[in-house]
Amino acid sequence: MQPFMKSFTQQEPIPQAGIEAAIEVMRSGRLHRYNLLPGELGPVGLLEQTYADWQGSTYCLALASGGQAMSIALRALGVGPGDTVLTNAFTLAPVPGAIAAVGAKPLLVEITEDLVLDFADLERKIAANRPAALMLSNMRGHLCDMDRLARICREADLPLIEDCAHTMGARWKGERSGSFGAFGCFSTQTYKHLNSGEGGLLTSDDPELMARAIILSGSYMLFDRHGAAPQREAFSDIRLDTPNMSARMDALRAAILLPQLEAIEDAIARWNTRHDALASGLGQLPGVALPRRPAAESYVGSSVQFRLPGANVQTMRAIVAAAAELGVELKWFGNEDPVGFTSAHRSWRYAGRQDLPRTDEVLSTLLDIRVPLTFDLDDCAHIVAVIGHVLQREVIAA
């Protein structure tokens, strides 16, 4: 078996137009978002406007990170110390971290083998805990039944925030992920669907909530220099009642992001071609189970997940090691010790111990492959061949 040689973390370069726009910003010396000439919108305001148009949201706020977008969303909703916030048990560390950042307690909700929220556990935890909000994490790009979820939240009068770090560009029945609740939170960190190193975008249709978010982001009294902000009147009390928490995006990052946003539909198509090639190849290997995807979901396949139902800890460990030896980086979410970006609920001790048998069962055999756009279809076939080879060897050995 030929080893696979490419890197699973190598992104595409920043488009030439982004490099030139960034140089222009540096030449101007005006890197702060509010350092504008009279009447000038600037790259950050333009990014907010362009993103709101593309997303189909009324308002958009550019921020320093996706994590900041989530904690600002919670704060804008009035969530604070002593509150309980529900979120998926299968997510990454910045999600419970954003809840802890506002002093609230993350209460984790079980997931199904299709990697989405378990509605029965959600309804149980809503009834038993009077949560202040649901921070839905569309982890690894999988959308739950958004119609049903919106109904559950409406009936429980539970504010919904969507963590769309992995679903920027995804849709449910044609409507963009991030449009179903009070706020949509997006990340432009290097490993997401737009790359500015670090960065975040927050969207909403609610003028009062967005006015609070803008003041929280650190806009001083410069909220009229935004690209997709509510009218002045929305700020009249909020500007005096809301603390400044300094989490702004700068002009350099916005300049890099704008040309990427122009090309995002093409990037989505390329991700999906690669994702679908990997998923269909993996789906044909014996012992592999793929999460089912509902017909109403249009996903962005920037990663692929598969399970090996019945495999034990030793087999899983051997498979991950053997694949790594052949150059294929598999993330195993069932590992007891958190490795790299992989993070399991047991390593969030600040959230308190939580009993999540169903999630633990799913994660114990769950593997994940990142799909950078620097891979081509031959690379996808090569990865499937390596995994097929490793599975055959390890399953026979077990």
Ligand X SMILES: *Cc1c(COP(=O)(O)O)cnc(C)c1O
Residues that bind ligand X (CB under 6 A): 65-67, 91-92, 94-95, 137, 139, 163, 165-166, 187, 189, 200
Please give the Cα distance from 144 to 136 (Å, whole number). 10
Please give the Cα distance from 4 to 378 (Å, whole number). 11
Q: Give the residues across from 204 on adjacent strands.
A: 59
Q: Give CB contacts under 8 A, 24+ apart, made by 235-244.
A: 235/211, 238/208, 238/211, 238/212, 239/211, 239/215, 242/212, 242/215, 242/216, 243/215, 243/216, 244/215, 244/216, 244/218, 244/219, 244/220
CB of 213 to ligand X, least distance (A): 16
Q: In this complex, which beta carbon is closest to ligand X, that of residue 114 or of residue 376?
A: 114
- Neighbour tally for 369: CB within 10 Å: 23
CB of 387 to ligand X, least distance (A): 23
Three-state DSSP class for residue 268: helix
173 catalytically annotated: no
**Catalytic residue selected from 6, 125, 173, 192:** 192
Please give the Cα distance from 11 to 191 (Å, whole number). 8
Please give the Cα distance from 247 to 398 (Å, whole number). 51
Q: In this complex, which beta carbon is closest to ligand X, that of residue 77 or of residue 161?
A: 161
Token pair 């003041």: residue: 215
Q: In this complex, which beta carbon is closest to ligand X, that of residue 198 or of residue 208?
A: 198
Residue nearest to ligand X (CB): 66
Q: In this complex, which beta carbon is closest to ligand X, that of residue 161 or of residue 387?
A: 161
Fill in the DSSP letter of residue 85. E
Q: In this complex, which beta carbon is closest to ligand X, that of residue 65 or of residue 359?
A: 65
Q: In this complex, which beta carbon is closest to ligand X, that of residue 167 or of residue 179?
A: 167
Give me 277's structure tokens: 């090639």
CB of 5 to ligand X, least distance (A): 26
CB of 69 to ligand X, least distance (A): 8
Three-state DSSP class for residue 185: strand
- HSE value, Cβ hemisphere, 13 Å, CA-based, for 101: 16
CB of 377 to ligand X, least distance (A): 26
CB of 13 to ligand X, least distance (A): 20
Buried b (16+ CB within 10 A) or exposed e, 265-284: eebbebbbebbebbbebbee
Q: 389 in the Ramachandran plot: left (φ > 0), alpha (ψ -120 to 50) or beta?
A: alpha
CB of 190 to ligand X, least distance (A): 9
**DSSP labels for 331-368?**
EETT-SS--TT---GGG-GGG-----HHHHHHHHTEEE
CA angle (343, 66, 291) in 5-degree steps: 50
Task: Assess contact for 86 and 135: CB atoms under 8 A.
Answer: yes
Distance of CA 248 to the CA centre of its chain: 19
CB of 70 to ligand X, least distance (A): 7
Q: Please give the positions annotated as active site.
A: 192
